[in-house]
Chain A
Amino acid sequence: MNDRLDPAQLRELFLLASDAEGARLLAVICSVTLVLVVLWLVRRRVLREEYTPIWMGVALALVVVTLRLDWLFALTRAIGAWTPSSVVFFLGEVFLVAICLNYAVRLSKAGVQMKNLAQELALLRAQLERLEARVGHG
């Protein structure tokens, strides 16, 4: 038995082993489910339309990857990874970090807006009380 394995050949084996029909089918099911869930949330008015493009984009990316697995393999080779699945996980993590940061920014903005609204409410209420007192005395 030859115990001196060529890493390049071994890596190609890993890449070929990843080309499974089951994985393609799972990716299509995931992307279709994601689209359906997004549409359902929008229809129930739980998710606003302006937040949907990013999730539709994710679903579309999944379909594209399923149809063009050679692109994923090319990317895997380009970045020196051993398996396409690790590349998918890596990209998924990058996406999650990016979206968390995006929501943190939106949350900060919403927090400032909420604080300003509450302050405005306090000021208007004081003004109303003063006017009411003036009318009462008049």
Chain B
Amino acid sequence: MNEAPRVLILPAFDEAERIHAVLGAVARAQTGCEIVVIDDGSRDDTAAAARSHGATVLRHPFNLGYGAALQTGYKYALARGAALLVQMDADGQHDPGEIRALIAPIEAGEFDLVVGSRFLAPSGYQMGAIRSLGRRLFTALARLAGLRVSDPTSGFQAMNRRVLEVYARDFFPADYPDVDVLLAAYRHGLRVGERPVQMTEGTRRSTLHGGLRSFYYVYKMLLSTWTAARVPSRRGSGEDSR
């Protein structure tokens, strides 16, 4: 009997140098997933580097944004009939060795979506003051809407097909999918959980780094979180995440 495929997606933009090491680590982790790199309009040889490791490459004709790249991966997984998807960054900040720990609660039917959190266990991860403040703000906002997550900006996640079907819709942001999409999944009745993971400082430009962009990010996230929170909840009363 053929088992539904599992897909590991890595959105990448100008990561030709780092992606060799990341895909090497992924291969050593033996995740049993089809490796899919979404090249978001890179100006370097990211696509060729990914292909040299046997990865499937989905290449955007131009840069669409981190969120759009993730969503291309979700759409691909849906079209492939995948039952499970893992997403991680292509800059080496996530450890592929922890993929199994993220997948396990989904396979056990405990959760639909599992977020790898830097803050559930001591990890030594250093977060700057502004980013830390932003994380606390969005954690509090999510909690107000009933969702308890400690690391809403984590890009290291695993999800089942039910989540993919929600995330493939047009509401999914092209730029920064963070607490707003977690909240949308939660409001759609999906079970969101967390597992502790270790992370190193990535090279991807953080959504909470860099002058005016940080202010725009906070403004945009407040607006989209409010929009997500207005979706009529399909959860039973008193039901919570984690």
Contacts and interface: CB of A to CB of B under 8 A. Distances in A.
B174 interface: yes
A118 B64 contact: yes
A37 to B, nearest CB: 33
Contacts of B75: 119, 123
A121 interface: yes
19 contacts: A111-B174, A115-B64, A115-B174, A116-B170, A118-B62, A118-B64, A119-B64, A119-B71, A119-B72, A121-B60, A122-B38, A122-B59, A122-B72, A123-B58, A123-B76, A125-B59, A126-B56, A126-B58, A126-B59
A112 interface: yes
B236 interface: no
Contacts of B62: 118
Contacts of A122: 38, 58-61, 72
A27 to B, nearest CB: 41
B7 interface: no
B57 interface: yes
Most chain B Cβ neighbours within 10 Å, of A115, A119, A123 = A119
B79 interface: yes
Contact of B170 (A112, A118, A126, A130): A112
Interface string B48-82: 00000000111111101000100110011001000
A95 to B, nearest CB: 26
- CB-based closest 10 A-B pairs: A122-B58, A119-B72, A126-B58, A115-B68, A122-B60, A112-B170, A118-B60, A122-B72, A115-B174, A122-B59
Most chain B Cβ neighbours within 10 Å, of A112, A126, A130 = A126
Contacts of B76: 123, 126
Contacts of B79: 123
Given A112-B170, A115-B68, A126 B60 contact: no
A122 B62 CA distance: 10
B47 to A, nearest CB: 11
Interface string A87-121: 00000000000000000000000011001101101
Contacts of B174: 111, 115
A112 B64 CA distance: 10
B57 to A, nearest CB: 7
A118 B58 CA distance: 10
Contacts of A126: 56-59, 76
Contacts of B57: 126
Contacts of A112: 170
